[in-house]
Structure 1
Amino acid sequence: MLRDMVSRQGGTTVLVPQEQRTRKRQPLYRVLLHNDPVNTRDYVVATLQEVVPQLSEQDAVAVMLAAHNTGVGLVIVCDQEPAEFYSEQLKSKGLTSTIEPET
């Protein structure tokens, strides 16, 4: 996107195009929950809500059911650092989790 800059030279106004600086967004990452044949469904839902507080109970149930029915459920899409944190927290509580770049 260009933004015009006004420059006055010898009584003449000249419009000088200038590039607008934009920050490049960091790539987002998907936190994935894999099917868990060991822990109860209630435990998985409670753990999801504990680790990712912005998940409602309904969302946590949906993630758990997706993982149960298809083998993998999408927990959240976020920046890399929080994605790594969420995945590690899920693992520390006995759940299987990975992250991958969002495509």
Structure 2
Amino acid sequence: MAVETIQERSTSTVRKPAPRYKVLLHNDDFNSMEHVVKSLMETVSSLTMPQAVSIMMEAHVNGIALVITCAQEHAEFYCEGLKSRGLTSTIEPDE
């Protein structure tokens, strides 16, 4: 006689967190520092003036700066918002 084993299947689902993306600001020689700070604050409403100034300065000095890390849909929205204001921005997966 064969012995059968019964496997219980879990009815709960495991939710994986959505992958996060980095929104990056690239330095350019076209926009004023004031315009960059204003654009950052208009696009990412959670940024304070000191944070926006810090991001602008990091991009100015290092050529690139991290603006925010968030879900892909939000990252694309922020990236497009920065581009629509004449800034150079990209997104990449947060690893």
Q: TM-score range by the shorter chain?
A: 0.7 to 0.9
Q: Between Structure 1 and Structure 2, whose CA radius of gyration is higher?
A: 1
Name the structure 2 match of 1:7: none
Secondary structure class of the residue paired with 1:76:
strand
Q: Which residue type is aligned with residue 82 of structure 2?
A: L
Name the structure 1 match of 2:60: 68
Q: Which residue type is aligned with residue 74 of structure 2?
A: P
Q: Which residue type is aligned with residue 25 of structure 2?
A: L
Percent identity (aligned)? 52
Find the partner of 2:30 among 26, 38, 60: 38
Tell me how far 1:22 sits from its aligned partner.
Answer: 2.3
Check if 1:29 corresponds to 2:17: no
Name the structure 2 match of 1:11: none
Q: Which residue type is aligned with residue 55 of structure 1?
A: L
**Gaps (5+ residues) in structure 2?**
1-7
**Gaps (5+ residues) in structure 1?**
1-15
The root-mean-square deviation of aligned C-alpha atoms, in Å, is 1.5
Say which structure is richer in strand. 1
Check if 1:93 corresponds to 2:82: no
Residues 17-50 of structure 1: CA deviation (Å, up to 9, x unaligned): x575321111100000000211110110000000
Q: State TM-score, norm by structure 1.
A: 0.80
Structure with the bigger RCO (C-alpha within 8 Å, sep 6+) is 2
Q: State TM-score, norm by structure 2.
A: 0.86
- Distance, in Å, in 2 between the alignment partners of 1:36 and 1:49 is 18
